[in-house]
Amino acid sequence: MTTTHFYYTHSLKRFFFLIGCTTFWFGAAAQDLYDLNTIQTIRITFAQSNWDYMLDTATAGSDGYIMAQTVEINGVVFDSVGVKYKGNSTYNANQAKNPFHIELDTYKAHDYGGYTDLKLSNVAKDPSFVREVLGYQILRQYMHAPLSNYANVYVNGNLIGLYVSSESVSKKFVGKHFYSTDNTFVKCNPIGGAGPGSSAKPNLVYLGTDSASYYAAYEMKSDYGWSDLIHLADTLKNYTSSVEELVDVDRVLWMLSFDNAVVNLDSYIGGFAQNYYLYKDDNNRFNPVVWDLNEAFGTFSQTGTSNLTSTSSKQQMSHLLHLNDTQWPLVQELLAIPTYKRMYVAHLKTILAENFSNGSYSTSAQALQALIATSVNTDVNKFFTYSQFQSNLTSDVNAGMSSAPGITNLMNARATYLLSQAEFTAVAPSISAVEVSNSSPLLNSTIWISATTNLATSVYVGYRSTASDRFIKITMYDDGNHNDGAAGDFVFGASIPVEAATIQYYVYAENNNAGIFYPQRAEHEFFSIQAVIPQISSGQVVINEFMAVNTETQVDPNGDFEDWIELHNNTTQPFSLKGVYLSDNAVNPLQWKFPDYATIPANGYVIVWADNDTTQSGFHANFKLSANGESIVLSYVDGTVLDSITFIDQLADISMQRCPNGTGEFEMNTPTFNYFNCIAGIDEQKTMHPYFLFPNPSEGKFQIASVDPIENVQIRNVNGQLIAEIAGLHEKIVSVDMPTNVPGLYLVQVNGNVLKYILK
């Protein structure tokens, strides 16, 4: 059996030091701000003593930020920072401890380890202080969710109290997890907040084609997107069979199963159908992100169809809540599809087995309480007593208008109840082994995946090349013809193409009763295969064309005119660009690394946008090209240079390109973006070299450019008659105004080389 491994993404810490008020950061994405083992210290200083009144006034009015004189995070000081109160039911102008939203970059370009927004919850609904942090800790095992921990918050030197600090679901968040930032982005909370008097619910019910019908229930975080949101709601209602084209169904099923398992009713499955985000990725699919877990583990009791007033009713809440309710289409429409329902139950079983049946959640909760006990005890503005904090892990506590169940009292009984239900006791198939025909396949080869199962009637393998792709599902067969052994032996097989340096995959099996994923956290976790990548030799992949001043020639996928570099594969075989770097600095050739999944097709082209904006989708390098000249270097990490070019001053909207295509010397020419160079013909291009005349044709005014100084220019008509002559120039760019307005073909002789010019 071939051994395979889970694919994990690890983030390295950043390190910093402080000089004056300037912060310097080094390394990969920082985790320090959300380290679960430490309590952060945040000190806010306002110049005004009536800061609370100012924040209350802003909340009651435009909800704008008030400038703090400084905000200090773990000893790092930032000046001129935006601060405001946040929250709906947890905010009250008459209480001392209100939730904060700190925006470091409101007035200046500050960030702390790459983070600019701090969302600080005042723990107004949770005697245990662990619900939100514990909930996110569990959820991150199964889908992308915010990081979360604790912070002691001071204002003007006074301790306000211990807060929960959770990562903001912002463009930075979606860029990190979904690899783009400019697509439709929706916050699914009613404008003005949810409550008994609000009828607006972001439940994805289809309300017709008028976007105004949706304004009260959703907050659009992107510049556009209402038509996308309406299309999703319409598809859920009328075209459910196509829903996987518009939404990541697996992430939705993980969200629904988590919310149900931990009785998180201030969520999509609850009375207000809120507290989640939707982001549309570059695969045109919406991805859900759960937000606001302060009332998870049974504190919120309204399902929307009933009120679970007792802990026992929460312990025994149906796992099929809203199965037949049209006001919750994500539940009703998706779980009406048998396979999705079996997947949903499989996810629920995984959450229960990995966190509650084994008691690990209780161990985690106890560790969190041990970490924060002293801070809770010294929090004079907390909403519950220290005794209630200590007891709420196991015992119910009255939480104002509702009850906060003891977390273990709720969840131990809930796990037992759910696992006793018929759909949980139904005999599911098992997957005892998954084998790969070749654990080190060649790029662009085909491999077989085989799964040894028991009691499975249907099996598929999902595969993709990169985390930004959607999984492609391929049916596996037990017919003896798909590398699956004998027909009917419960070994299923299918072939998948190796189209990139890494292949990620998982297997799902089901029968009429139940389903199972392998690995069980799929699609969030998966197996991976590393392909054997042929090394590129010099001349096989080259820098073929580039433009350093792009003002009107070609826009990138975001609609911007940016510098660009074109690579060309001169061979009949595709190559992986894993381990290949591009740079505009020969001293630092490893400036920008191609993603591991990047490939260049046989005889094909790849465009890299040199715009110093790596947050955009596609290949965007972390440098720009200089119009005054510099170098471009294509190399491997070991220093092997595949190609390089050093160039001088560049002209706007004129490219430098190899002629002949892929092999010739560089010359200025009309750009042939992502296409074969020298379209005017090789012989004519050679005649033009090293001079370039543009625009051509024109109405009598043109320029001549050269890499070498131009000494003289003669212009003749087709009969050889001299029309004009300019001598003694010694310039690299010469502007010419034709002395005639007679249309036709003219011959322009530059330093003895003849160019053709058409006067129109």
Q: By the 8 A CB rule, do 441 and 435 touch?
A: no
Residue 557 pLDDT grade (very low, low, confident, very high; cuts 50, 70, 90): confident
Which 3 state secondary structure label does DSSP give 59? Answer: helix
Span 338-369, pLDDT tens digits: 999 999 999 999 999 999 999 999 999 999 99
Is the confidence at residue 174, as pLDDT, over 50? yes
Q: Which ranges of 179-321 does DSSP label H, i.e. alpha helix? A: 226-238, 249-261, 311-315
Is the confidence at residue 21, as pLDDT, over 80? no
- The C-alpha atoms of residue 321 and residue 487 are separated, in whole angstroms, by 41
Greater model confidence, 250 or 573:
250
Is the confidence at residue 684, as pLDDT, over 60? no
Span 39-65, pLDDT tens digits: 999 999 999 999 999 999 999 988 789
pTM: 0.80
Range with the lowest mean pLDDT among 12-26, 486-500, 599-613, 633-647?
12-26
Structure tokens at 593: 């690394």
Is the confidence at residue 28, as pLDDT, over 60? no
Question: Closest Cα to residue 717, out of 694, 744, 691?
Answer: 744
Is the confidence at residue 373, as pLDDT, over 70? yes
Model pLDDT, residue 121: 98
Residue 730 pLDDT grade (very low, low, confident, very high; cuts 50, 70, 90): confident
Q: By the 8 A CB rule, do 358 and 365 touch?
A: no
* 519: preceding bond cis by omega (within 30 degrees): yes
Is the confidence at residue 17, as pLDDT, over 60? no
The Cβ-side half-sphere exposure at 35, using a 13 Å CA radius, reads: 16
Structure tokens at 225: 């997107």
Report the 10 Å Cβ neighbour count for 422.
7
Sequence-ordered list of residues with C-beta below 8 angstroms from that of 713, at least 6 positions apart, any chain: 704, 724, 725, 726, 727, 729, 734, 736, 748, 749, 750
N-terminal to C-terminal alpha carbon distance within the chain: 73
Model pLDDT, residue 296: 98
Q: By the 8 A CB rule, do 26 and 7 touch?
A: no
Is the confidence at residue 23, as pLDDT, over 70? no
Structure tokens at 435: 């084998």
Span 94-153, pLDDT tens digits: 999 999 999 999 999 999 999 999 999 999 999 999 999 999 999 999 999 999 999 999
Average pLDDT, the chain: 90
Which helix (H) or strand (E) covers residue 723, if one does? strand 722-726
Span 199-225, pLDDT tens digits: 899 999 999 999 999 999 999 999 999
Span 561-606, pLDDT tens digits: 999 999 999 999 889 898 999 999 999 999 999 988 898 988 999 9
Is the confidence at residue 539, as pLDDT, over 60? yes
**Residue percentage of the chain with pLDDT more than 70:** 94
- The arithmetic mean of pLDDT across residues 376-398, rounded, is 97
Return the exposure string of 212-237: e unless at least 16 CB atoms fall within 10 Å of the residue's CB, then b: eebeebbbbbbeebbebbbbbbbbbb
